[in-house]
Structure 1
Amino acid sequence: MKEKKKLQKASTTSRRNFIAGSALSAAGFMIVPRYVLGGKGYIAPSDKLNIAGVGVGGRGYPILKDASLLNEKKKTTVENVVALCDVDDVRAAKAYENYPKAKKFKDFRVMLDEMKGDIDAVTIGTPDHTHAVIAMAAMQMGKHVYVEKPLTHNVYEARMLTEAANKYNVATQMGNQGNSSNDIRRICEWIWAGEIGNVTEVQTWTNRPIWPQGKQKPTEKPPIPDTLAWDLWLGPAPYRDYHPDYLPFKWRGWRDFGTGALGDMACHIIDPVFKSLKLGYPTSVEASASTLYIDDFVEGDLSESFPSSSVIHFQFPEREGMPPVKLNWYDGGLRPQRPEELEDNEQMGDPNGGVIFIGDKGKIMCGCYAANPTLLPSSKMKDFKEPKQTLDRVEDGHQRSWVAACKGGKPASSNFDYAGPLTETVLMGNLAIKSYYLENGRKKLLWDGKNMKITNFKPANDFVKRQYRDGWTLGV
């Protein structure tokens, strides 16, 4: 009779709690493998994650495809994709075609409200300026979230999402895919094993932007495409008239929507630095950038667009027995000096960018996404023996490891406890660029990370967070 009551209790457990595994763990049951019941490779419907995709017209589609394991030819998935949301029907057409059973929405708020009992997890592949409001709304409803990089549009939003993920006890992941690679773990193991000694400086760079930047706001008012819900696309950003200079893709160069070259690539390129050197909040940030104004410069006026190139210097304090370290960032075609250990015929980094760790016993170079790490000079790799493996490898890839976390597995590698502070650091660079133009010159900003406050230049604190348009809120 006692066992019968336990079985009755388990049968009334909510579907979402079943997915997370918490109710079964509490009941102490032994679960019979599904392949025993339904054949090898069988996945029971109750074991599938119900996923909703937001922003499926661009980057959001491949995210959802990998998370759900979509077979485009057969239009079948391993997970259930129950809802699709996008503000542009034309851009989202491929997703609509390949997930024919999913319900379609333009407004994520309507989707979450109407389907709150049918969604377990949400993937977010929208432009940067809407990441936070969508992710926060989903987490507050108990939904797991996967958010493309950068996690948010500003420092304050990143802090709020990090805190919310813990408050609502949901599985999270940011889309810096290199964080799940073997190479980033090898770099960590090399550095922690002392292969290049104490690292005191790191050079990082990217080939971005590959979209227009350093532009003035367009003045023309072309008609809004019939398939585009322009007001919803704007979301919490200040209202402005539609223009094709903003979308698709070119939104990255506009301050109200994107986060520039730094926001696009630094979460990939700085990632192995942040992880291997166990970085937290920087203590200071200093920037310089290309001229945004020529004939129409107004002192104190900030451009609508990010600069075409910039250089940023971050300083981090001593931590966990590691010495203070300076992190340098270059974009827009600018690069650090080639290390003398690099042969003339050797490429520095890769076409997308790279990293050079400078230690007191040697150097390590890698490309974007932590790819292809090598000691410098590269001739050292001939007799190099990998140190003992100390970090588990991610077997199923970045999106699928998040799915596993949603189902009660171990936290994903770039969950918000990690991705939040990384994003804050990246976006501090943009804050420094804004301050550089505000001052019309170079200025080092001193940063109190715990309290999210610039201590030596009060006007810069206006850039830590932003005001949302009426009708939009972060809900905190």
Structure 2
Amino acid sequence: MRNISRRNFLGYSAAASGALLFPRWASGQTTPKPSDKLTVACIGVGSQGLRVMLDLLRIPEVQLVAVCDVNRQSSDYLDWGPHELRDKVRLLLQEPGWGTGLTGPTAGREVAQSITNAFYAKDAGKSRYAGCTAYEDFRELLSKEKDLDAVVISTPDHWHAVIAIAAMRAGKHVYSQKPMAHTVGEARQMAKVAQETKRATQVSIFNSQTADSKRVIDLVQSGAIGAVQRVDIWTTRASAFWKQGLNTPATADPIPAGLNWDMWLGPAPSRPYNHAYLPFVWRAWYDYGCGAIGDMGEYGFDTIFRALDLGAADRVDASSTELFPDCYPVASRLNYNFPARAGKPSVELHWYDGGIKPERPDGFPVDAQMSVGGEGVMYSGDRGKLLTGYMASSPRMFSSNGGLAAPLPALTQANEPFQPLRPELGPTATSANLAHYYEWIHACHGGPPASANYAFEAPIVESLMLGNIAIRTQELLEWDPESFRLTQGSERASSLLMPQYRAPWAAS
């Protein structure tokens, strides 16, 4: 059968898909294309980027037109379970034998392109489809993909701002992985450019859409535990998933075939390749990742910020296990202060990672579990405490004398409007994820801003990255967000506010 082009396929697929998952956009603020397809490129298709790509392929309103990665293809990525990535691809393509010859979890631009073209060919009943283009350099993608509406960024943290800002300047909407930015200055600049370009943005904080988070927000805002003046939040990251507290490698390993190492480094300082940096372990290193608070902080802080109506922190200090020249410590604690808001007191927020946990409150029942799966959040008000799992699950209220308050009613799940159109392809992660994607898609078509947009997330990420500066310097930092300066802190701490990009890279 004949090959089918991208442009011809858009119209064909729209007609063939039948009823859509979500009503067609009727905001009146833009004129959708006849197919109502949002043309999207995925930049960064390692393991996490591939997972997002597999979700997007299931959404009829999205047409994936390009993929980009500095790695051609390799089978050394991270699975969340035995054959997790392989089995997700098999389910999507309805091909039980897909990946039989692969030696491990496989990702990269060539496999992502192959999966996308195979999916669209099968979906259209054609033998071949070649409408998805693969690129090594995102700049080439942005210059050549003339019909591109939006990009999804799933690169390591040090690339987020550079690519997002370039994409917005090129007129593209942006969905990006957490943390939104790698530095305080990048978070501020990304929000500024989003406002200037009027692009729709969303960070991958899916729990902003969950019923669990909304219930906790309502409980706190209703005054159920009184005025909240302290929050404790703890996670088992990073030691549970990757190693930190590492010495900088003194030797170089051979660069794997198909990996453009210089491009992977991008704006970060040049250094020899070593397996200690990737895949996945890059999160541990100052130059590429943001440690535990970068991996998990935005999830937890998002619900807290919404519940307490917080802005950027004005003070933070840190303590930690042994420090290393280029790598985050094994475990750390951060102590934040958030200033008083209209009618609300200032809030202390204490962050613990690497298995450190807060002290058990006085009078707390001996048989009451503080954590859910080793992690949790505790809101302390003047009339009691609210404890939840890290993602706001299993809320439990305790009175001011430490006794368990009346059990909360079971959460009634609303009717899910995002059921999969093609159940034989498996679900798109969870209903919360799908609602999260659709919220961004709707915003791209002129609808309301997505919940985790850059303007909302910027003060959160600003606070997170201030915490990382406190960890690295072990200083008490006082921050004036209005003037964008540290009113207490060393010159070294101030130098870490803004990224030091390697030429020719910039985010402006």
For the Cα contact (< 8 Å) 2:397–2:407, is it kept in 1?
no
Q: How does 1:167-178 map to 2 (within 5 A)?
A: 167-178=196-207
Q: How does 1:240-389 map to 2 (within 5 A)?
A: 240-292=271-323, 303-339=325-361, 343-351=365-373, 353-376=375-398, 379-382=404-407
Residue 468 of structure 2 corresponds to which residue in structure 1? 430
Give, in angstroms, the shift of residue 45 of structure 1.
5.3
TM-aligned CA distance change 1:292 to 1:172, over 3 Å: same
Residue 4 of structure 1 corresponds to which residue in structure 2? none
Larger deviation, residues 369-378 vs 175-184: 369-378
For the Cα contact (< 8 Å) 1:66–1:399, is it kept in 2?
no
For the Cα contact (< 8 Å) 2:207–2:432, is it kept in 1?
no
For the Cα contact (< 8 Å) 1:341–1:376, is it kept in 2?
no
Residue 160 of structure 1 corresponds to which residue in structure 2? 189
What letter corresponds to residue 129 of structure 1 in structure 2? H
| Structure 2 residue 484 is matched with structure 1 residue 455 | no
TM-aligned CA distance change 1:212 to 1:83, over 3 Å: same
CA–CA separation in structure 1 for the residues paired with 2:363 and 2:440: 39
For the Cα contact (< 8 Å) 2:199–2:444, is it kept in 1?
yes
Q: How does 1:35-50 map to 2 (within 5 A)?
A: 46-50=35-39
Residue 244 of structure 2 corresponds to which residue in structure 1? 213
Question: What whole-Å deviation, never above 9, does each CA across 1:337-376 have from its counterpart, x for those lacking one?
Answer: 1345655454423226211000001111111222332323
TM-aligned CA distance change 1:62 to 1:385, over 3 Å: closer
Residue 53 of structure 2 corresponds to which residue in structure 1? 64
For the Cα contact (< 8 Å) 2:30–2:445, is it kept in 1?
no
Residue 83 of structure 1 corresponds to which residue in structure 2? 66
- Unmatched segments (≥5 aa) in structure 1: 1-18, 32-43, 71-76, 294-302, 437-442
CA–CA separation in structure 1 for the residues paired with 2:410 and 2:68: 49
What letter corresponds to residue 39 of structure 2 in structure 1? N
Task: Please provide the CA RMSD for this pair.
Answer: 2.5
For the Cα contact (< 8 Å) 2:29–2:446, is it kept in 1?
no
CA–CA separation in structure 2 for the residues paired with 1:324 and 1:253: 32
Larger deviation, residues 177-186 vs 394-403: 394-403
Question: What whole-Å deviation, never above 9, does each CA across 1:293-345 have from its counterpart, x for those lacking one?
Answer: 6xxxxxxxxx1100111110000111131101100001111110134565545
Q: How does 1:101-120 map to 2 (within 5 A)?
A: 101-115=131-145, 117-120=146-149
TM-aligned CA distance change 1:289 to 1:49, over 3 Å: same
TM-aligned CA distance change 1:352 to 1:256, over 3 Å: farther
CA–CA separation in structure 2 for the residues paired with 1:269 and 1:457: 26
What letter corresponds to residue 413 of structure 1 in structure 2? S
CA–CA separation in structure 2 for the residues paired with 1:344 and 1:214: 34
Give, in angstroms, the shift of residue 281 of structure 1.
1.5
Give, in angstroms, the shift of residue 214 of structure 1.
1.1
TM-aligned CA distance change 1:51 to 1:26, over 3 Å: closer
For the Cα contact (< 8 Å) 1:200–1:359, is it kept in 2?
yes
TM-aligned CA distance change 1:429 to 1:227, over 3 Å: same
- Unmatched segments (≥5 aa) in structure 2: 1-23, 74-106, 118-130, 415-430
Give, in angstroms, the shift of residue 222 of structure 1.
1.4
Question: What whole-Å deviation, never above 9, does each CA across 1:145-203 have from its counterpart, x for those lacking one?
Answer: 01111001000000000011111001110111111111221112111111010000000
TM-aligned CA distance change 1:394 to 1:247, over 3 Å: closer
What letter corresponds to residue 148 of structure 1 in structure 2? Q
What letter corresponds to residue 193 of structure 1 in structure 2? S
Q: TM-score, with normalisation over the residues of structure 1?
A: 0.82
Q: TM-score, with normalisation over the residues of structure 2?
A: 0.77
TM-aligned CA distance change 1:384 to 1:21, over 3 Å: closer
Question: What whole-Å deviation, never above 9, does each CA across 1:241-299 have from its counterpart, x for those lacking one?
Answer: 11110000000000000000111111112221111111112111111111126xxxxxx
TM-aligned CA distance change 1:182 to 1:230, over 3 Å: same
1:179 to 205, 208, 213: 208
What letter corresponds to residue 190 of structure 1 in structure 2? L
TM-aligned CA distance change 1:178 to 1:46, over 3 Å: same
CA–CA separation in structure 2 for the residues paired with 1:405 and 1:352: 36
CA–CA separation in structure 2 for the residues paired with 1:351 and 1:124: 29
CA–CA separation in structure 2 for the residues paired with 1:383 and 1:142: 47
Residue 455 of structure 2 corresponds to which residue in structure 1? 417
For the Cα contact (< 8 Å) 1:122–1:144, is it kept in 2?
yes
CA–CA separation in structure 1 for the residues paired with 2:374 and 2:279: 21
Question: What whole-Å deviation, never above 9, does each CA across 1:71-91 have from its counterpart, x for those lacking one?
Answer: xxxxxx541000000111222
Query: In percent, how many aligned pairs have the same letter?
Result: 38
For the Cα contact (< 8 Å) 1:215–1:292, is it kept in 2?
no
CA–CA separation in structure 1 for the residues paired with 2:504 and 2:443: 33
Paired residue total: 415
For the Cα contact (< 8 Å) 2:314–2:478, is it kept in 1?
yes
Residue 257 of structure 2 corresponds to which residue in structure 1? 226
CA–CA separation in structure 2 for the residues paired with 1:103 and 1:469: 28
- Provide the secondary structure at the position in 2 that maps to 1:326: strand
- Provide the secondary structure at the position in 2 that maps to 1:412: coil
